[in-house]
């Protein structure tokens, strides 16, 4: 649905911190699904951990947040879309984060987020991350779209 070039038109993040490779489903104002292919070539594996590579939980949460940012931006009305290049999404809170299973090189990390609440520029999202349909992480995210 959205490839990495499309995602870069929406999000300001770039390598090595763009953590969504593709968006596979999007229902404006409701939900999004996307993924990141986890490769041993990720810079984070140089230090986390050299002999036992584990993708950091904080990076999973950030990837969820980036997918949520795509959902928020793409859910804006036409007037809001005009100024998208002058906007950015800021985290307000991360709650109920749980890490259930390690993510390692070779995994396809799937992000699924749904809107809990949206009021103006503030979005509250329920995020879950899966590998092979197994829940590996979850969190509630709150973010706000602001001017750069």
**What amino acid positions are annotated as catalytic residues?**
48
Element (H, E) at 24: strand 22-27
Token readout for 82 is 């005009």
Distance CA 10, CA 95 (A): 25
Structure letter (DSSP) for residue 98? E
Pairing outcome for strands 122-131 and 134-147: antiparallel
Q: Can you say how many angstroms the Cα of residue 14 is from the centroid of all Cα atoms in its chain?
A: 13
């Amino acid at each position: 649905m959205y490839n990495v070039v499309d995602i870069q038109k929406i999000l300001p993040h770039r390598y090595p911190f763009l953590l969504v490779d593709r968006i596979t489903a999007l229902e404006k104002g409701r939900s999004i699904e996307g993924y990141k292919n986890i490769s041993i070539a990720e810079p984070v594996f140089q230090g986390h951990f050299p002999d036992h590579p584990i993708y950091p939980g904080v990076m999973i949460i950030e990837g969820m947040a980036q997918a949520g940012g795509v959902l928020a931006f793409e859910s804006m009305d036409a007037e809001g879309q005009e100024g998208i290049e002058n906007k950015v999404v800021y985290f307000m809170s991360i709650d109920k984060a749980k890490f259930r299973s390690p993510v390692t090189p070779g995994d396809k990390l799937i992000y699924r987020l749904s809107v809990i609440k949206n009021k103006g520029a503030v979005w509250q999202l329920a995020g879950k991350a899966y590998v092979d349909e197994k829940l590996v992480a979850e969190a509630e995210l709150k973010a706000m779209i602001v001017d750069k």
